[in-house]
Structure 1
Amino acid sequence: MTNFHHLQGLQSLLPLISLVTRKDSALEVYKEMLLLYLEEGRRQVNSRCAELEPWQIIGATFITTLGAVWIKGFLFQHESNISHVMHGNLRWLIFCVSCYFFCCQVYGDFAWSNPLHPDIFPGVRKMEAEVVRMSCTLFHGGPNSCGTVTSGGTESILMACKAYRDMAYERGVKYPEILAPVSVHAAFDKAAHYFGMKLIHIPLDKKTMKVDVKAMKRAITKNTAMLVCSAPQFPHGIMDPIEEVSELAVRYNLPLHVDACLGGFLIVFMAKAGYKLAPFDFRLKGVTSISADTHKYGYAPKGSSVILYSDKKYRHYQYFVAPDWQGGIYASPSVAGSRPGGIIAACWATMMHMGESGYIDATKKIISTARKIKAEIRKIKSVTVFGDPEVSVVAIGSDVFDIFRLSNALTTKGWNLNTLQYPSSIHICCTVLHTRPGVADRFIRDVQEQVAIIMKNPKEKTTGMGAIYGMAQSIPDRSMVTEISQGFLDCLYSTEVAKSNNSHMNGNGKAH
């Protein structure tokens, strides 16, 4: 039977063999070859379908068509989804795939819009207003609460600092000061640098890792422009004692900014998810502004955040207006002039798609996972968990061995943890990705195994990036670290680096 089929195959090629021996033009040869292939294909299909009933043929055709349409949509329409996987943004991919596709479509529809021109793009203006109003409501803002959408947490923080600086100027303060915990985000350092303010770092309670309220009280002077708390802070995931600091703010008639950039869209849903937290928002009289990133646990695309105020009088100090410009009256609410309307639209779409139930479900999974990790890590000898983290970040340190050794070891296991300094530590920031079955258990097991290996020789020196990071902390002249960092940033813009990368490309533009 096999030989017979071979003969049939050879026989079908005979016309082709005769074609190539003729002196016809190449086009005619290819045309006749195509016709022969089509004829052979028709014959093969007919022979294979000869014993099938009509309903079977129709059913198979229908299923095949549906499959082809699905594959086409996955490969081409959702190409950006695959890009997110390549860049490690798995949290979004796994948790909210349909939302992602929906928001990409919305972004595309508003990609050319610009909120600087609300008369031309009224839809984006309305969406920004609704994002702000929804956020104010989540943080228990009253009818006079307000805010703006910004490009990220840093801009939100800059805007609050700028507003309170101008308020301090108005009351005669020449050298405005920001009182903030040493654990506060570096964006406050940037704000002080940009706006000519002085940042006074307040120490933490060494046991709780919360800001020392008594020390903050002692630091208040006539130059104090604002107080700051974190909810939670980035290094250790600790909620500052915002209630106590709020009382200070009221007593001394000072504005209090709560930086909730990291966990803002978790903490507002924790009560409904079954986790109690002390008040941290506009329910407290002293809290006058809050920054929260919609592009973190709000699951919006990167480049979106909100700065919220308890009253419109604070937001007015954030605005910039140039009334005498020859190009007309120029007014903008934040740092940027032109802004990407597509980001605002996608942020609005994300919040509408997720809804309260979606956010509560995500919060419940993330908080339960983070607390499981916290509880299990605490059981491991030779390592410590800093403070009592209540949200999504768990920071780990050790008094027995160099914690950066553990960081290096976990990196080889596929974990990407943040390295911290003063004190040396590492932390894991839990996302929806970590809530998948077995992920948290694997992390805990890997920590247990690697600590056991390290403890066989706890005094061994750290190598690799851990050694570099540890050494950087020990340099007394911090200007050296600054210069090295500036050199690194310069390299990012170096054309020589680009040329070097291009030299490793092949003819198709793909890296070897």
Structure 2
Amino acid sequence: MRPFSGGDCTKLVTCGINRLFVNREPWQVATITATTVLSTIWFWNFINQDESVWTRTKRRFFHLAKKIPAVQRKIEDEMARATKDFEGEMIKSCGDLSYALELPEKGLNKQQILQLVDEHLKISRYDWRDGRVSGAVYGFKEELVEIITQVYGKASYTNPLHPDIFPGVCKMEAEVVRMACALFHGNKDSCGTMTTGGTESIILACKAYRDFARENKGITKPNMVVPKTAHAAFDKAAQYFNIHINYVNVNPETTEVDLKAMKRAINCNTILLVGSAPNFPYGTMDDIDQIAALGLKYNIPVHVDACLGSFVVALTKEAGYAIKPFDFSVKGVTSISADTHKYGFAPKGSSIILYADKKYRDHQFTVTTDWPGGVYGSPTINGSRAGGIIAACWATMMNFGHDGYLEATKRIVDTSRYVERKIREIDSIFVFGKPATSVIAIGSKVFDIYRLSDALTQLGWNLNTLQFPSGIHICITDMHTNAGVADRFLNDLRSSVAEIMKNPGKPVEGKMAIYGVAQTIPDRSVVGDVTRCFLNSMYYTPPKK
């Protein structure tokens, strides 16, 4: 017997197809052929998408389940209750202040306006000036506020969209960028722009790399490889620019990105690798050196998010503390985002996005050449930009100078190391990973950590809440370096833990209980709907009587 050959296999397939179409009309042959081809294409597209089949199937299941009348009514009832609760909390937080629902018939005078402003600014339950808040306000000195107020007043109506009218403001922005490039060890080719905040800086970097990859590599279905601990602004950029995110897990002990997993997540459509210095949840720093090595190996840009670390992370080494390399001194790092309104101590609304080369910044720009209003070019998302913020940021940096920022870095990192060391001495709680600069994240394997968050809130402290896994963190600012603040926090932390440990198994109550339950909901779109209810409540005003 002769062996079975490839030609025999071809004959079998051919005969099978011929038998399938025997005695069929031409229209039937065409219909079957078209249906088979289209079905094959559909199936191929279904299994070859950025999201896994399991993720898409799960999302589809929950989408259909919510259309069941009983389920839909239940969700609507819960959303209505959440909306009512959020709106009630918002009204309550505003105290006895009345709402302006229409323009005043006659304009208010200066004294009336300033009195109302003071009343609005006094209603917070947290004393942020006394260092009771994690992050939020990173530095506050009366003499600097006086300078910034005068500078902003002088420049409040300027707009760098019109460089011919306001060239001085454009010069200030260029100097802010150049001074920042120097802090992050850029060279003569490094460049950047100012933005309104870290989110815009990150969004612009993603836009730049999407367009760069499309033009230079022909990538039309871009993805970026991002640690799960990276800032949510990357997700926002992905939603805006239709970039898929390949999320990478972190090491549960170090909370740094898993480099082997990051390497596996790279494919031919990857336009960007991301690392944090440090990340927001835990304050730990990814191994930027190794991420950059991956970028060089696969010819992929690498963005370092230093928004939270800002000038502190830039000066930590010079201040005498060990820190892993992360900036433009690392070959392969192509961009850095950093917030001047954090540890640059500038007023809110200023950040910087820096690039190693102008070829990347060119793709950040938006240019419209055929508009009847003329040729239009914009460096950032906004067209008109607040020249007052640019001038105030410039003035802050000029006022602090290198030595001023270095001294502030020493104070902040000193205090952070002290707080971290003392927290590690408290039984039944632990610190996530090894904080790189100023963020210290706390968890517990003994009790629900949200009970500690609630207890500290009752004592006037406002900390950030984390999830997956549950935790809280404190971001040390210059406010915490004032005499006695760190010890007050540590004393309240110790006493709160001691009180909780009298009954460690007690479940958390109130708002924190809701936060804990939210992590267990498998349909994350429901959590998203509740979040939208909260966001809407921020704009709630009572109906006109």
> Equivalent residue of 2:373, what SS?
coil
State whether structure 2 residue 158 is matched by structure 1 residue 113: yes
State the partner residue of 1:456. Answer: 502
State the partner residue of 1:393. Answer: 439
Moved more, 428-437 or 270-279: 270-279
State the partner residue of 2:174. Answer: 129
CA–CA distance in structure 1, aligned partners of residues 232 and 357 of structure 2: 26
State the partner residue of 2:312. Answer: 266
State the partner residue of 1:230. Answer: 276
Paired AA for residue 375 in structure 1: R
| TM-score computed with the length of structure 2 as normaliser | 0.75
State whether structure 2 residue 267 is matched by structure 1 residue 221: yes
Superposed displacement of residue 173, structure 1: 1.2
Among 386, 394, 407, the alignment partner of 2:453 is 407
Superposed displacement of residue 96, structure 1: 2.6
Among 208, 213, 218, the alignment partner of 1:168 is 213
Mapping 1:352-391, distance limit 5 Å: 352-391=398-437
> Equivalent residue of 1:257, what SS?
strand
> Equivalent residue of 1:470, what SS?
helix
Superposed displacement of residue 320, structure 1: 0.4
CA–CA distance in structure 2, aligned partners of residues 345 and 418 of structure 1: 31
Paired AA for residue 422 in structure 1: F
Q: Deviations over 1:248-286 (max 9, x none)?
A: 111111100000001121011112221121111000111
> Equivalent residue of 1:164, what SS?
helix
> Equivalent residue of 1:450, what SS?
helix
**Identity across the alignment (%):** 56
Q: Deviations over 1:132-161 (max 9, x none)?
A: 000000000000100000000000000000
Superposed displacement of residue 362, structure 1: 1.0
State the partner residue of 2:184. Answer: 139
CA–CA distance in structure 1, aligned partners of residues 453 and 535 of structure 2: 24
Q: Deviations over 1:165-199 (max 9, x none)?
A: 11121211121011010000000000000000001
CA–CA distance in structure 1, aligned partners of residues 420 and 486 of structure 2: 10
CA contact (8 A) 1:85 1:93 kept: no
CA contact (8 A) 1:99 1:354 kept: no
Among 417, 433, 438, the alignment partner of 2:479 is 433
CA–CA distance in structure 2, aligned partners of residues 380 and 179 of structure 1: 37
Structure 1, unpaired ranges of 5+: 1-75, 504-512
> Equivalent residue of 1:317, what SS?
helix
State whether structure 2 residue 230 is matched by structure 1 residue 184: yes
State the partner residue of 1:421. Answer: 467
CA–CA distance in structure 1, aligned partners of residues 390 and 282 of structure 2: 30
Paired AA for residue 112 in structure 1: Y
Q: Deviations over 1:331-352 (max 9, x none)?
A: 0001000001000000000000
Alpha-carbon spacing, 1:332–1:386, altered in 2? closer, same or farther (3 Å): same
Among 174, 199, 202, the alignment partner of 2:245 is 199
CA contact (8 A) 2:138 2:345 kept: no
CA contact (8 A) 2:415 2:476 kept: yes
CA contact (8 A) 2:139 2:477 kept: no
> Equivalent residue of 1:131, what SS?
helix
Among 373, 393, 400, the alignment partner of 1:347 is 393
| TM-score computed with the length of structure 1 as normaliser | 0.80
Superposed displacement of residue 499, structure 1: 3.7
> Equivalent residue of 1:347, what SS?
helix
State the partner residue of 2:21. Answer: none
State the partner residue of 2:359. Answer: 313
Among 510, 515, 534, the alignment partner of 1:469 is 515
Superposed displacement of residue 119, structure 1: 0.4
Q: RMSD across aligned C-alpha pairs, in angstroms?
A: 2.0
Q: Deviations over 1:97-134 (max 9, x none)?
A: 21111111111111111110000001100000000000
Superposed displacement of residue 82, structure 1: 10
- Rg larger in structure: 1
CA–CA distance in structure 2, aligned partners of residues 120 and 470 of structure 1: 53
State the partner residue of 2:286. Answer: 240
Alpha-carbon spacing, 1:78–1:358, altered in 2? closer, same or farther (3 Å): farther
Moved more, 168-177 or 279-288: 168-177
Structure 2, unpaired ranges of 5+: 1-112, 132-136
Paired AA for residue 98 in structure 1: E
CA contact (8 A) 1:371 1:390 kept: no
CA–CA distance in structure 1, aligned partners of residues 276 and 117 of structure 2: 34
Superposed displacement of residue 498, structure 1: 3.8
Superposed displacement of residue 426, structure 1: 0.2
CA–CA distance in structure 2, aligned partners of residues 271 and 116 of structure 1: 37
Q: Deviations over 1:279-303 (max 9, x none)?
A: 1100011100000000011010100
Paired AA for residue 248 in structure 1: L
Alpha-carbon spacing, 1:182–1:336, altered in 2? closer, same or farther (3 Å): same
Superposed displacement of residue 441, structure 1: 1.1
Q: Deviations over 1:409-434 (max 9, x none)?
A: 01111110001100000000101111
State the partner residue of 1:490. Answer: 536
Superposed displacement of residue 442, structure 1: 1.5
CA contact (8 A) 1:210 1:240 kept: yes
Which contiguous aligned blocks of 4+ residues in structure 1 show a shift greater than 3 angstroms? 76-89, 91-95
State the partner residue of 1:47. Answer: none
CA contact (8 A) 2:455 2:496 kept: yes
